[in-house]
Amino acid sequence: MLNYFELCIIRRFNMKFLILLVIFLLSFIPTQGFSAEPPKEPILKIETGMHTAPINRIGIDSAERYLVTGSDDKSIKVWELRTGRLIKTLRPPVGGGNEGKIYAVAISPDGRHIAGAGWTGYEWDGSESIYIFDLNTGRLIKRLSGLPNVIHYLSYSKDGRYLAAGLGRNNGIRVYRTGDYSLVKEDKDYGSDVYGLDFSNDGMLVTTSIDGFIRLYNKNFKLIKKKKAPGGKQPFQISFSPDGSKVAVGYDDTPNVDVLSSDDLKKLYSAYTGDFSECNFYGVTFSSDGSYLYAGGTCQKLFDGAWKFIIRRWEILNSSSGSKVVQDGSRYIDIPVTTSTIIHILPLKDGGVVFGSMEPSFGIIDANGRLALYKGNEIADLSGQYDEFQVSYDGSVVRFGYEEWGKSPVVFDAEKREFVDESTVRLLKPITEIKGLKITDWKNNFTPKLNGNPIKLEQYETSRSLAISPDGKKFLLGTEWFLRLFDKDGNEIWNVPAPAVAWDVNISGNGRVAVAGFGDGTIRWYRMEDGKEILALFPNKDKKRRVIWTPKGYYDASPGGEELIGWHINNGRDKS
């Protein structure tokens, strides 16, 4: 049953927009329902010309004409590499929740095909798929289905003959022959997720897994070496040197960066990261000529009074005993690039690199170590707002900041569909402490606790935000992947997938509405009773345009806001 807030929202939407939407929807009424098909109803999408959620992976063709990016916003974008100009957006079939999020992308060396995958296909197949697109036409030309878990990483071999995929959980890798995309190799003997793999120029394959092992395969994909990573328990990404003699590995659980021999995976040396402890450099690559080693991840430094995530570049010196990275601190530079995690780095022919980040953003660092290109986003940064993320007693009014930590604050009234003066409404901070309910370690932590006992989350799921209901009988956790409502004893009542990181949560004073701020720049309202989404707001970074919409697609937009609205139409499982 609709509550008062929901009724007010529906009544207050502009009738002109409703009539236009109804006409649009009627033209797409399906003639027949299929339970094993993607939903056919149009889905409202925010289109800013850039991703609205974290970029998870990037790819470039051998001629360096194109950059492809894959994102949690369920899209793959193709860019002109050197200018950052958007060429086209590719969308796989999408559904509700996580369905359609892109965790992995790759482009064939000749630039003809783009592979994209992630949480893709499970909603209608009960298994995951890799989608192959034709870059020129944008059409989905092949679907590699039947995979048992999400796909974290994709890579084409340097000659374009093979596509390798790293899977989630203990499902290992798959290798496909690109002539017909037939499966030629699978190795399921893995203990956890595969987050990194790379081909050498002569066709060798190396992989990393969170099970702690690095695995080396020969040109026929026979496993020839399996060895525990030397610098941490969770090796993350890995990269061959240009001559194939070495591999560099970064970690998810330590800041170490190690260089190993590709003959036997023995450690040759470590790059200097001794000035860091509570961060990582899990994205690694050699420069195209082997003169430098680059790495980035979650490590930050202070530049001109502002914290920036860095890419560190070490100089590799050749000596009679072989190549090594100077470790006395004098031969590396730190390049400030983003305000969020650097997730992937790839080498360019001129000695520079291209990177993708979770801001979302991407950019190029040239051979001189300078930021030569930067493409930012158009979303509000809702991270770290905590007490600044406030709501009214009935939940219809929300206070948030356009910038991190709640800076540039505004107050939005969802019933009036406009920004209002903060002095005209009483706003409530999220409750994070209350008598009889002690919740600890909930801020940016894998192991939040209720009265000293662990709260059950998925493996590697990070808790980000907390709000306790006014009566103290429930609490809401915002995590990397979900919103989760628990009772006072720690039993989960419901969970809903998050469109991106749930940076902020709050519960209305009457206990009936939950409000959350996400990493895709949206603020969303949910019914506390069952977690049903009521409404979503996208406030553009320009502080002028905004779009507000319901899950059914009813929407209202400020002047100029309609430019941000697009519609996604699924055309079945095998078409884009």
Q: Indicate the range of 138-152, 301-315, 323-337, 368-382 predicted with least confidence.
A: 323-337
Q: Do 263 and 239 contact (CB within 8 A), yes or no? A: no
- The DSSP result for 221-260, as a single string, is --EEEEEE-SS-S-EEEEEE-TTSSEEEEEESSSS-EEEE
Q: Do 362 and 371 contact (CB within 8 A), yes or no? A: no
> pLDDT at position 238, please?
98
Residue 494 and residue 506: Cα distance in Å, rounded?
16
> pLDDT at position 459, please?
86
Q: Do 271 and 314 contact (CB within 8 A), yes or no? A: yes
Confidence of residue 576 (pLDDT cuts 50, 70, 90): confident
> pLDDT at position 318, please?
66
The class level of CATH for 53-228 reads mainly beta
Residue 569 and residue 263: Cα distance in Å, rounded?
49
Whether pLDDT at 58 is above 80: yes
Cis peptide before 360 (omega within 30 of 0): yes
Q: What percent of the chain has pLDDT over 70?
A: 92
> pLDDT at position 460, please?
87
Q: What phi, psi does 131 have (nearest 5°)?
A: -100, 135
334 exposure class (CB count in 10 Å sphere: 0-12, 13-18, 19+) = middle
Type of residue found at 69: T
CA 19 centroid distance within chain: 35
Confidence of residue 487 (pLDDT cuts 50, 70, 90): very high
Whether pLDDT at 136 is above 90: yes
Q: Where on the phi/psi map is residue 438: left (φ > 0), alpha (ψ -120 to 50), or beta?
A: beta
CB atoms within 10 A of CB 336: 17
185 DSSP β-pair partners: 175
Residue range 345-365, pLDDT digits in tens: 999 999 999 999 999 999 999
Pairing of strands 361-365, 371-375: antiparallel
Whether pLDDT at 22 is above 70: no
Q: What phi, psi does 243 have (nearest 5°)?
A: -85, 0
Residue 358 and residue 278: Cα distance in Å, rounded?
18
Q: Do 481 and 119 contact (CB within 8 A), yes or no? A: no
Higher pLDDT, 19 or 332: 332
Q: Using H for helix, E for strand and C for coil, what is the string for 265-322?
A: CCEEEECCCCCCCCCCCCEEEECCCCCEEEEEEEEEEEECCEEEEEEEEEEEEEECCE
> pLDDT at position 23, please?
27
> pLDDT at position 100, please?
97
CB atoms within 10 A of CB 80: 12
Whether pLDDT at 306 is above 50: yes
Whether pLDDT at 26 is above 50: no
Whether pLDDT at 271 is above 50: yes
Whether pLDDT at 461 is above 80: yes
- Average pLDDT for residues 1-15, to the nearest whole number? 45
Q: Average pLDDT, whole number, for the chain? A: 92
Residue range 107-120, pLDDT digits in tens: 999 999 999 999 99
Q: Indicate the range of 21-25, 199-203, 321-325, 565-569 predicted with least confidence.
A: 21-25
Whether pLDDT at 9 is above 80: no
Confidence of residue 27 (pLDDT cuts 50, 70, 90): very low
Residue 439 and residue 379: Cα distance in Å, rounded?
31
> pLDDT at position 360, please?
97
CA distances from residue 119 to 97, 257, 483 in whole angstroms, order as listed: 10, 29, 18
Q: Is the dihedral of CA 477, 539, 97, 5 positive or negative?
A: positive
70 DSSP β-pair partners: 57, 76
Helix then strand then coil, in percent of the chain rounded to 5, is: 5, 45, 45
Torsion of CA 62, 64, 65, 66, to 10 degrees: 90
Whether pLDDT at 19 is above 90: no
> pLDDT at position 2, please?
43
Query: Structural domain boundaries of the chain?
Result: 4-34+380-568, 53-228
> pLDDT at position 321, please?
54
* Helix (H) / strand (E) containing 170: none
CA 486 centroid distance within chain: 25
126 exposure class (CB count in 10 Å sphere: 0-12, 13-18, 19+) = exposed
- List of E strands, 447-532: 449-450, 453-454, 463-468, 474-479, 482-487, 492-497, 502-507, 513-518, 523-527
> pLDDT at position 322, please?
63
Whether pLDDT at 15 is above 80: no
CB atoms within 10 A of CB 388: 18
Q: Indicate the range of 27-41, 215-229, 248-262, 553-567 predicted with least confidence.
A: 27-41
Whether pLDDT at 6 is above 70: no
Residue range 139-178, pLDDT digits in tens: 999 999 999 999 999 999 999 999 999 999 999 999 999 9
* Helix (H) / strand (E) containing 20: helix 15-26
- Average pLDDT for residues 463-467, to the nearest whole number? 98
